[in-house]
Amino acid sequence: MSITQNELKRILSNKFRLSFGTRGTFRILLFSDFHSHYKHQDPRTYEAFEKIIDDKNPDLVYLMGDLPGGPVKPAEAVEMLSALSRPMDKRGIPWTLVFGNHDDSICRGMPMDRIEKLMEKKCPNCMIKNYGKKIHGYSNHAIPVYRSESDDSISFILYGLDAGRDISAMNEDYELNGDIIEFLSAPKRLTARRRFDIVRFDQVIWYWELSKAVETMNGKTPALVMTHSGVQELRVLGDFPKNLDVDGELAEEIKVGAINSGLFTAGFQRGDVIGFYCGHNHVNTGEGKYCGIRFGYAGSIGYDAYGTKKPHSDRERNRLRGARMLTFDRDDIINYRSEYIYASDYVAPVIEVK
């Protein structure tokens, strides 16, 4: 799979051109794991969502998957997605996303390609577009951030890769004789959380070839890789938090797919990736550095999603709700600033559980 310069220009051509402005910084707000049901939502989710956006004034909002879901009719899905998009649309802020493992529930029974097209059509400021139509997944993309409006040199690039829904899909893809979960479970049966899918090898190759093509056009270009459920190497953050200078909390087991996709190895060997970011683990808010590359969690903004274990109060259960802010300086991309933002600073607790 090689990517020509003409193909590269098509892939990098997005709905909005992102670039550094006069302030010399570029801010990205990462939100993940809304998990709100269409018909019953905790109002604190969207209140915190909007207030954080207002306070931080980002140049791009990046949703890391597991969006609101649950409607059974397309009209309800449109209404729900419009509500999700509204905070960015009314402020004129571009936004994009990678899908999560639960996002086939955005509209029950609707195929993922239709969900993707629905978002592209109904969300004015959404940059979603599947640029890798010949590879696995949806919402795969590469978004460049330019040095300025008038300068076509790329300061850094965002690679978004869909990590899929359920790994049992591999049975059909690869004509496996038996359930892949059985293959993976030896010598002991895997628990349900190991059913998570992964970024597939053709997606890794797609990133690899894109990275090479970008280097030919722009020179070695710093990059971030965004997926919903992360990469296997995240586990080293939990194993060696002090050695890897982990900042923030790892309040639950690091949950990733049972198969190593090779995505980290590809990014490491290409030498352009400076950060991997994900959602998926709602109460993991940590960020560390492994092999010179940052790993970080976006946390969970959704008050309907699970929170900390054995909470004594609503305040404790939702203590780690929030988002992650990445701030890039035009003249020092590699040493960007990363900050976890707590929703509790913007939304007061409502219910105290005795």
Residue 174's pLDDT band (cuts 50, 70, 90): confident
List pLDDT tens digits, range 324-333: 999 999 999 9
Degrees (nearest 5) of the Cα angle 45, 47, 49?
70
Q: Would you list the domain boundaries of the chain?
A: 5-163+198-345
Tokens of 121: 């059509």
Q: Which of 8-12, 25-29, 199-203, 346-350 has the lowest mean pLDDT?
A: 346-350
Does residue 79 surpass a pLDDT of 60? Answer: yes
**d(C-alpha 181, C-alpha 290), whole Å:** 30
Give CA–CA dist 12/214, Å, rounded.
10
CATH of domain 5-163+198-345: 3.60.21.10
The position carrying tokens 């969300």 is 123
Residues in the chain: 354
- Supply the pLDDT for residue 142: 96
- How far is it, in rounded angstroms, from Cα 131 to Cα 11? 6
Give the N- to C-terminal CA distance of the chain in Å, as an integer. 58
Q: What is the pLDDT of residue 191?
A: 47
Neighbouring residues of 227: CB distance < 8 A, sequence distance ≥ 6 = 98, 160, 161, 162, 163, 199, 263, 276, 278
DSSP assignment of 335-353, as one string? EEEEEEEEGGGTS------
At residue 187, the 3 state secondary structure works out as coil
